[in-house]
Chains A and B, each alone.
Chain A
């Protein structure tokens, strides 16, 4: 399964708002920053992989830049590899491909073709673009999956520089690319016209072969075998033989790391908090050690208290940012523990980390840095959410909706830690709104009105208000798709005390107070 331009695809998959923008991935080096890949939109503007950053920005000012993050790209590919294990227990990873040995697995899917089709369908459903090839050898499958037609009838190996650039799926489901099946008897014939780079040769060997006019696999196969290792390296013949099935190729399967967990049994069941806290501290230190060794941080933590007779008590915690700090996790756990009552003395304690994320080591700095501030905010969100509930700690998101009560949503801050949120709706486009908006408009009792029908005197919350000035109406008629459409005429009124209120009149001439400009 070849995933074209994997880093770019991974980026656009996690940030869908970038699919319609020119995007490039950059890498900084001693000679400055340069582009490692770019999308089709950027390529049409004239940007190319390998180009210096300054040149790329001069060509395309709107270019969205993203720093190369090989560790995270690898992590994402590993998570796909875990998914791919449903098709074969032997899954290996390449830089941008998943390599599966499906020997003996096809019968579970009623044939190799069905297996390939199902894999393609599921990948597409998840929003990935992939080219799948099945062949008798790993080398042949890799070559066929990576090969692309070019103008003039030739072939090239995808991933190299050239005119063809990655085009991220602009829709949730990318267009279908049917899997390619290579019968074992046709392997040599299929590989013959492909470029030699399809054999996964070292770049130096490809250059040497190209220098003597060897560009296709059939040309390489025609060379005297005895002369090839000495002139072009031992790897060349090895790769050719592996692709043609003359030499076996070892596939190192990917093994997902075991779940991070730690547990301890008490000699006697206990409900003494000091004992339980001490045991938790020890378990958290073990978890921290394991996570540090794997360069990971916990995203979720589950703590189980097992009793003699009662059902186990499970406390789960979610974190805004991955963390492996035993101190921080311990504080959060203790906060949660204070909110629960243990039904019985505890016999066994078990800590599990169901979800982990990359959290590499970073050098401690004595003075403030941007990253440490983010960690402080993350810690604060974790503490508040742990104490008051996940839904209590929120970030506000603006929604493009005319009805005021639907123009804003409060999303749990925990969700923001995982996703990249789209920027809020441009402020200039928003009409003036009050800072205080009642979730449900409050009916007011109108005592007198102006000739136009706007209240002159009204009662609200047992208090009488006299309107000195009024502005409006602003008509809002919307929401038919929500089942109850609204048609409201909003007025800003200034009362005799100088306060500004937001009233509206509904169909039927009923008046409501919706907010105040505080």
Chain B
């Protein structure tokens, strides 16, 4: 075997060992919000995680949340891959969410199976930090293949699906149900979404969090009033 091949294999093995020992090391706070710690054990997603975002209809905020988390998963160097089989993904809005378009590959396949195959290949690439795709029907085998690919490459996979997927088996590590919440204040740029944890390893199902999406500033955060209430309660816990 050529020496260069041996060295390449060795480098890949070292990288794989490092990923196994510190699954969260390469994914710097994907959620980015301390409040997630209340509902998700450890408050964070590890590399190689498969996340399903389930919605009842379009326009809920699933894409925004997926892009927000994917941006954090990719950090400063890794690439984001988006599968746009419906040809509806609109990058100018993604740019407003501070997505670096020069580090975002958009796959526009002609058929749905190509989207799945592209995402699986992309997940295996160590240079890819996250992938996002809308895949309505996903068999258990396909889901498992995605999960294995994510574990191989160390990226995070975000799958956008409808609530019909709740009736199907899933290998996703995290399942979140998103429900839009009517905005009590008339603001064209701020909207709210309720995120409920359907499944997360080690966490209780049914816990939820309200998120505020600011389309103008490109922010996703816990609403200020909720964040203030959380910070007030923390010193009491600390002193106890």
Interface residues of chain A, those whose CB is within 8 Å of chain B, are 327, 364-368, 370, 373-374, 376-377, 379-381, 383-384, 387-389, 391-398, 404, 407-408, 410, 413, 421, 424, 427, 430, 432-439, 468-469, 471-472, 492, 494-501, 515-518
A-contact 0/1 string along B69-100, CB 8 Å cutoff: 00000000111000000011111111110100
13 sampled A-B residue pairs with Cβ under 8 A: A364-B11, A380-B121, A392-B107, A432-B189, A432-B215, A435-B89, A435-B93, A498-B60, A498-B192, A499-B60, A501-B59, A516-B59, A517-B61
By the criterion CB–CB under 8 Å, are B88 and A439 in contact? Answer: yes
Task: Using A380-B128, A383-B121 as known contacts, say yes or no to A366 and B57 having CB atoms under 8 A apart.
Answer: no
Task: Name the CB-closest residue of B to A397.
Answer: B101
Q: Which residues of A contact B67 (CB under 8 A)?
A: 435
Task: Using A380-B122, A395-B104 as known contacts, say yes or no to A437 and B90 having CB atoms under 8 A apart.
Answer: yes
By the criterion CB–CB under 8 Å, are A494 and B125 in contact? Answer: no
Bound-complex Cα distance A498 to B193 (A):
9
Q: Which 4 A-B pairs have the closest CB atoms?
A: A498-B180, A499-B59, A471-B188, A396-B91
Q: How far is the CB of A281 from chain B (nearest CB, A)?
A: 13
Taking the complex as formed, is B186 at the interface, i.e. its CB lies under 8 A from any CB of chain A? yes
By the criterion CB–CB under 8 Å, are A518 and B114 in contact? Answer: no
Bound-complex Cα distance A421 to B105 (A):
15
Task: Using A367-B11, A424-B95, A435-B67 as known contacts, say yes or no to A376 and B90 having CB atoms under 8 A apart.
Answer: no
Q: How far is the CB of B47 from chain A (nearest CB, A)?
A: 14
Interface centre among B56, B98, B105, B181 (most CB of A within 10 A): B105
By the criterion CB–CB under 8 Å, are B57 and A394 in contact? Answer: no
Instruction: Assign chain B's interface to a size class.
Output: 35 or more
Task: Using A435-B64, A518-B60 as known contacts, say yes or no to A394 and B96 having CB atoms under 8 A apart.
Answer: no
By the criterion CB–CB under 8 Å, are B107 and A393 in contact? Answer: yes
By the criterion CB–CB under 8 Å, are B8 and A437 in contact? Answer: no
By the criterion CB–CB under 8 Å, are B118 and A469 in contact? Answer: no
B104-142, CB < 8 A from A: 104-110, 114, 117-118, 121-122, 125-128
Q: Which residues of A contact B191 (CB under 8 A)?
A: 494, 498, 500, 517
By the criterion CB–CB under 8 Å, are B126 and A376 in contact? Answer: yes
Taking the complex as formed, is B7 at the interface, i.e. its CB lies under 8 A from any CB of chain A? yes
Task: Using A366-B14, A432-B215 as known contacts, say yes or no to A379 and B58 having CB atoms under 8 A apart.
Answer: no
Q: How far is the CB of A335 from chain B (nearest CB, A)?
A: 10
Bound-complex Cα distance A370 to B101 (A):
18
Task: Using A380-B121, A497-B180 as known contacts, say yes or no to A398 and B92 having CB atoms under 8 A apart.
Answer: yes
By the criterion CB–CB under 8 Å, are B57 and A497 in contact? Answer: yes
Q: How far is the CB of B101 from chain A (nearest CB, A)?
A: 5
Q: Which residues of B contact A389 (CB under 8 A)?
A: 110
Taking the complex as formed, is B159 at the interface, i.e. its CB lies under 8 A from any CB of chain A? no
Q: How far is the CB of B91 from chain A (nearest CB, A)?
A: 4
Bound-complex Cα distance A384 to B186 (A):
45
By the criterion CB–CB under 8 Å, are B182 and A468 in contact? Answer: yes
By the criterion CB–CB under 8 Å, are B108 and A364 in contact? Answer: no
Q: Which residues of B contact A421 (CB under 8 A)?
A: 102
By the criterion CB–CB under 8 Å, are B108 and A394 in contact? Answer: yes
Q: Which residues of A contact B126 (CB under 8 A)?
A: 373, 376
Task: Using A398-B101, A517-B191 as known contacts, say yes or no to A392 and B88 having CB atoms under 8 A apart.
Answer: no
Bound-complex Cα distance A364 to B108 (A):
34
Q: How far is the CB of B134 from chain A (nearest CB, A)?
A: 10
Bound-complex Cα distance A500 to B216 (A):
14
Bound-complex Cα distance A471 to B191 (A):
13
Taking the complex as formed, is B4 at the interface, i.e. its CB lies under 8 A from any CB of chain A? yes
Q: Which residues of B contact A377 (CB under 8 A)?
A: 79, 105, 125, 127-128
Q: Which residues of A contact B88 (CB under 8 A)?
A: 436-439, 515
Bound-complex Cα distance A518 to B57 (A):
10
Bound-complex Cα distance A327 to B5 (A):
10
Task: Name the CB-closest residue of B to A491.
Answer: B188
Task: Name the CB-closest residue of A to B77.
Answer: A373
Bound-complex Cα distance A388 to B192 (A):
38
List 15 extra interface pairs beyond A394-B105, A436-B90, A499-B58, CB under 8 A: A366-B14, A368-B15, A373-B127, A388-B114, A392-B118, A395-B102, A395-B106, A424-B102, A430-B96, A435-B63, A437-B90, A469-B186, A494-B191, A501-B59, A515-B88
